[in-house]
Structure 1
């Protein structure tokens, strides 16, 4: 680092005795080198966040306006209704005559995960005499207009955690909206 030394100017001043003040010069070269080494170290050792994605099979677009219906046994079907207060209303069977439910639960291992695992085992035990494909439980996921996207992603994560093979995201009906309103999970 270059320093500029200022002298006394070559002339003498009358009667004034001044002490020479030293310039406080700090050499920052070592600090800059250390900063660049630290930056390089942290850039090379930090792993960048990788985007997380899940595989979601979407149906092909059909050109016909005829809705496709699929008949399934009502004792193999669990329907999840996503409300607006981070709550899920589930029922087992048909909405007009449910076998079990509707019941309000939350997310996580003591909420919907526990319900899905119980119902999956129940369906397997009922259909134990059939082949493995016919033993699978079917889950219908129906999001209300006031539910948020995070809740839908959380339910899809629960499908992966509980290893539910057959599930579908379906439009919610007026009767199911009325169920959500009755339980206080949907406001008008």
Structure 2
């Protein structure tokens, strides 16, 4: 453990000095304890589990199963870098009104809750990402679908009619 050694440390003649005691500490038990603690915490710590999003895909065994969706029960959402465009109906109809909102809880979440309350359980969201949309924007929109408990959504490529609707609206 620890020892104390006493040396006279002086010559025979001359002034008498007090003897200095030097200590020598054995660090082996401290190192052993350190390694035991490191091993204990490594074995008892749980690592963070990766956070994944559940994405339901249609079954590939079913052939030509095309279920009809009414456009009155569908909301088309187009995420962009800073804002989210949305409309109900077909983009080629003259009565289609394009609107915009943001990714906040008072933005697209409120819109999705409102449409789901009005339409009911048959509410379907069609997601068409614009060319300016980032991966984060798409994940944010899918998160909003999960938060608002919308289980019916489709992810499609943006069509030229939807792009024209955005350019024509000037939003």
1:55 alignment partner, SS class: coil
Residue 79 of structure 1 aligns with which residue? 76
Q: CA deviation at 1:78?
A: 0.5
Map of 1:25-174 to 2, 5 A cutoff? 29=29, 33=33, 36-37=36-37, 40=40, 44=44, 46-59=45-58, 72-85=69-82, 87-97=83-93, 101-124=97-120, 136-174=122-160
Q: For residues 94 and 111 of structure 2, what CA distance do their matches in structure 1 show?
A: 15
* Structure-2 change in CA distance of 1:176 and 1:4 (3 Å): farther
Q: CA deviation at 1:83?
A: 0.6
* Structure-2 change in CA distance of 1:90 and 1:7 (3 Å): same
Unmatched runs of 5 consecutive residues or more in structure 2: none
- Please say if residues 92 and 98 of structure 1, whose CA atoms lie closer than 8 Å, have aligned partners that are also in contact: no
Deviations 1:86-124 (A, max 9, x none): x21111112233766422212243111111121122223
Residue 129 of structure 1 aligns with which residue? none
RMSD of aligned alpha carbons = 3.7
* Structure-2 change in CA distance of 1:98 and 1:152 (3 Å): farther
Q: For residues 20 and 39 of structure 2, what CA distance do their matches in structure 1 show?
A: 37
TM-score, length of structure 1 as denominator length: 0.65
1:95 alignment partner, SS class: coil
Give the number of equivalent residue pairs: 165
Which ranges of 4 or more aligned residues in structure 1 deviate by more than 6 Å?
none
Higher strand share: 2
* Structure-2 change in CA distance of 1:19 and 1:136 (3 Å): same
Unmatched runs of 5 consecutive residues or more in structure 1: 63-67, 125-134, 184-188
TM-score, length of structure 2 as denominator length: 0.71
Residue 5 of structure 1 aligns with which residue? 5
* Structure-2 change in CA distance of 1:23 and 1:145 (3 Å): farther
- Please say if residues 136 and 165 of structure 1, whose CA atoms lie closer than 8 Å, have aligned partners that are also in contact: no
Q: CA deviation at 1:81?
A: 0.7
